[in-house]
Chains A and B, each alone.
Chain A
Amino acid sequence: MKYLSLIVICFSTLFVEAQSNFQMFASMDGSIHLTQGNTNIWGYGFIGDDDISLPSPLLRIPKGDEVNIEMTNISGEAHTIHLHGLDVDQLNDGVPQTSFYVFPDETANYTFNANNEGTYLYHCHVTTTLHLTMGMYGMIVVEAPDNQVYEGGPVYDSSFEYLMSDLEVATNSFPLFAFPFHEIKPDYFMVNGDSGYLLSGLISNAVQMNPGEQVLLRLGSMAYSKIEMLFPESFHAVVLMSDGRVLPEEVPISSLEIYPGERFCVMLNPEPGFPDELEVAYYNMINNEYLSSNYIPVIDLSTSMNDLLDGQAVLYPNPSSDHLYLSEDFEGKIQIINYQGRVVLESELRLGMGIDLTNFEAGSYILKAHGLGTFKFIKP
């Protein structure tokens, strides 16, 4: 009997699925900084975060995980989470008429198995036409192991996620006056919630890559507009997946239309001298009229050291395992961004002060010293 119990325990241990758990809240009390001021947003945040963001947080899930999203509604109206493209069952679909509402002060759970790698979305499905323009959406990435785009597929060196969206400033500023909903006309156009110089001026928004690397872009749209993304030839862009499924064959592209709700995995294999931006154009879905463009910054990591030398500002010692210094007389804000494009340190640097790298993981990083320049360094 003892042996049988042991076998059962071992057997069940072997087949316990890994889990991804997210504790989130839904709020109607947020704001974002636009190029021309602030406006209201509704959205989701992680429990423990101070505020919501637009888009809502990226949910990154290893393929095969059992996923639970616990959502607490701290707002005054009902909301849901629709798991867009994940083919969940009816109960977890987030459509209130066929699953359930999450009323104010309620907590609900959405569960599913992340069976298919790829790029997905989540959003509120209550009065969707309004709640989406207010910002209740985010991206979900289901990752195959070992930097494979999909199991058995090509491997990438780095990946970046871009969620296109838009809003009508008047609607967000005065949502009570949004009716009739078919007259919502977006007039502010975003990539990862940023627009104009707020997008192109932030290194954390940049695609950062070396020539010859395989760089995966995960692209999705929650816009009311049609998106067209332009890929100059030197990026050698090919589409590998759409909507979480592998295409029958790779599709080389010079431009890519992304309609509302669509997602794409696009691999870049840039050649030296590639352009320093990617254009994202927005078109009116009703009459196909061109509306606006945004520009995602693109950084060539192989030449950022040259920028450093030309600027005669020197990071030393580089590589460094404990402290890093700027030789220039510099005081001000710095940002350090890891290879995945995430800001890992934001700080004020005083004259002569070193940057403590002891808690940094080994790898390549970008340091942006505001007003001085952008530099690459390595933590061995």
Chain B
Amino acid sequence: MKTLFIAVCCLHVTSLFSLDLQLFINPVNLTIEDLDYTLCSFNASETPDPENEVIRLSVDEMLNLTVTNLDDLPHNFTIDGILENDNSIAAGGSETFSLSFNSEGTWRYYSDFSYGTLLGASGIILVGYESFPCFYWNLLDIDGELSNEIAVQSVTEIPITYAPELFFINGARYPLTLENPETVVSISLGETAIISVINSGYMDHVLHFHGFHIEIVSAQIQSNRVGWIKDSIPLKSGEAMTFRLVGNQVGIYPVHDHNLIAVTNVGTYPGGMLTQIQVQE
């Protein structure tokens, strides 16, 4: 269980609840199909994990967050429109941030340095929706060779020749995506699920649902699409959206990027950004 949803307590005058949380910024080294990758993640422990931690909050709940930077490079903790200044964390240092959200929805936190953003140091904050089963999809595209150059700062921005060959949901590629219970939407017939999605990648991605239309209930970039009911939903780079899905028919249905190069693993189909909706009787 990657989500931290700690017991609430009344500590603050303006907020009825608070959540104390510790995150670590970890460099992550992976070898996949004989290729080396360097990523960077916000994890709940000092153990590197390509899956960034999900932060789960209630509306108006105060988050007291301590972030420890275990990288050799400085980072920051950024949430667009919420926390953009005085958010630096020196290499080896720790900082504490307090913040709350006054509405339900999905936000994206990330390290705004190029070696943070481009290496996947980016996670989900989901606020509200406590009465629904919730699932989380953090999308990331990776060019292995480039990731190693970004990590040593010999490259500081994505070149026009960018050629990603791995496509992750929650730090994993299909079929490993099916092993994470926070990725596979498993619900009962008639049940309503909330899916919290961010695009941490450089590319735009477009998720296509088989068997279902979903309602977009929150969006940080394409906010004009809140209330739209769709089966193919573009997520621009940096987007954070919340979907509501009603499991109105039984069965197993894929959900995948309809940019079809992203349903591959180093060129092999099927792979990449592909998971499932599973609705049981």
For window 87-145 of chain A, which residues contact chain B by CB distance below 8 Å? 87-90, 93, 95, 97-98, 127-130, 132-133
In angstroms, how far is the closest chain A Cβ from the Cβ of B200? 16
In angstroms, how far is the closest chain B Cβ from the Cβ of A170? 15
Question: Do residues A129 and B203 form an inter-chain contact, with CB atoms below 8 A?
Answer: no
Question: Do residues A87 and B204 form an inter-chain contact, with CB atoms below 8 A?
Answer: no
Per DSSP, chain B at the interface is loop
Q: Mark A241-281, 1 if CB is under 8 A from B, else 0.
A: 01111011001000001011111000000000000000000
Q: Is B267 an interface residue (CB 8 A)?
A: yes
Q: A129-B269, A180-B268, A285-B203 are in contact. Are A90 and B211 (CB under 8 A)?
A: yes
Cα A348 to Cα B140 in complex, Å, equals: 57
Q: How many residues of B contact A (CB 8 A)?
A: 40
Contacts of A285 in B (CB 8 A): 203-204, 259, 261
Contacts of A130 in B (CB 8 A): 269
User: B206's contact among A179, A247, A248, A260, by CB below 8 Å, is which?
Assistant: A260
Question: Do residues A181 and B203 form an inter-chain contact, with CB atoms below 8 A?
Answer: no
Per DSSP, chain A at the interface is loop
Question: Do residues B210 and A93 form an inter-chain contact, with CB atoms below 8 A?
Answer: yes
Cα A224 to Cα B257 in complex, Å, equals: 11
Cα A85 to Cα B250 in complex, Å, equals: 17
Contacts of B230 in A (CB 8 A): 242-243, 245, 262
Q: Mark B212-240, 1 if CB is under 8 A from A, else 0.
A: 11000000000010011111101000000
Question: Do residues A182 and B206 form an inter-chain contact, with CB atoms below 8 A?
Answer: no
Contacts of B249 in A (CB 8 A): 87, 89-90
Question: Do residues B251 and A89 form an inter-chain contact, with CB atoms below 8 A?
Answer: yes
Contacts of A242 in B (CB 8 A): 228, 230
In angstroms, how far is the closest chain A Cβ from the Cβ of B185? 14
Q: Mark B173-207, 1 if CB is under 8 A from A, else 0.
A: 00000000000000000000000000000011010
Q: Is B19 an interface residue (CB 8 A)?
A: no
Q: Is B155 an interface residue (CB 8 A)?
A: no
Contacts of B260 in A (CB 8 A): 128-129, 132-133, 181, 184, 224, 260
In angstroms, how far is the closest chain B Cβ from the Cβ of A215? 23
Selecting from B37-45, B115-123, B156-164, the interface stretch reads B156-164
Q: Is A183 an interface residue (CB 8 A)?
A: yes
User: B234's contact among A133, A224, A259, by CB below 8 Å, is which?
Assistant: A259
Contacts of A87 in B (CB 8 A): 211-213, 231, 249
Q: Mark B242-281, 1 if CB is under 8 A from A, else 0.
A: 0000000111111000111111101111100000000000
Question: Do residues B211 and A286 form an inter-chain contact, with CB atoms below 8 A?
Answer: no
For window 124-144 of chain B, which residues contact chain A by CB distance below 8 Å? none
Q: Is B75 an interface residue (CB 8 A)?
A: no
User: B267's contact among A84, A181, A226, A245, by CB below 8 Å, is which?
Assistant: A181
In angstroms, how far is the closest chain A Cβ from the Cβ of B242? 16
Q: Is A356 an interface residue (CB 8 A)?
A: no
Task: How many A-B residue pairs have C-beta atoms within 8 angstroms? Tell me.
Answer: 131
Contacts of B232 in A (CB 8 A): 84-85, 243, 259-263
Closest A residue to B215 by beta carbon equals A245
Contacts of B158 in A (CB 8 A): 287
Question: Do residues A95 and B254 form an inter-chain contact, with CB atoms below 8 A?
Answer: yes
Contacts of B203 in A (CB 8 A): 285-287
Cα A261 to Cα B231 in complex, Å, equals: 9
Question: Do residues A248 and B204 form an inter-chain contact, with CB atoms below 8 A?
Answer: no
Cα A129 to Cα B256 in complex, Å, equals: 12
Q: Is A289 an interface residue (CB 8 A)?
A: yes
Q: A90-B253, A243-B231, A261-B232 are in contact. Are A182 and B267 (CB under 8 A)?
A: yes
User: B204's contact among A89, A224, A251, A259, by CB below 8 Å, is which?
Assistant: A259
Question: Do residues A182 and B162 form an inter-chain contact, with CB atoms below 8 A?
Answer: no
Closest B residue to A289 by beta carbon equals B160
Question: Do residues B258 and A180 form an inter-chain contact, with CB atoms below 8 A?
Answer: no
Chain B interface residues toward A at CB < 8 A: 158, 160, 162-165, 203-204, 206, 208, 210-213, 224, 227-232, 234, 249-254, 258-264, 266-270
The 9 listed contacts between A and B (C-beta, < 8 Å) are A87-B212, A89-B211, A127-B269, A181-B267, A182-B262, A243-B229, A259-B258, A262-B206, A285-B259
- A243-B213, A247-B227, A260-B232 known; 4 other A-B pairs, CB under 8 Å? A133-B260, A245-B230, A257-B234, A287-B158
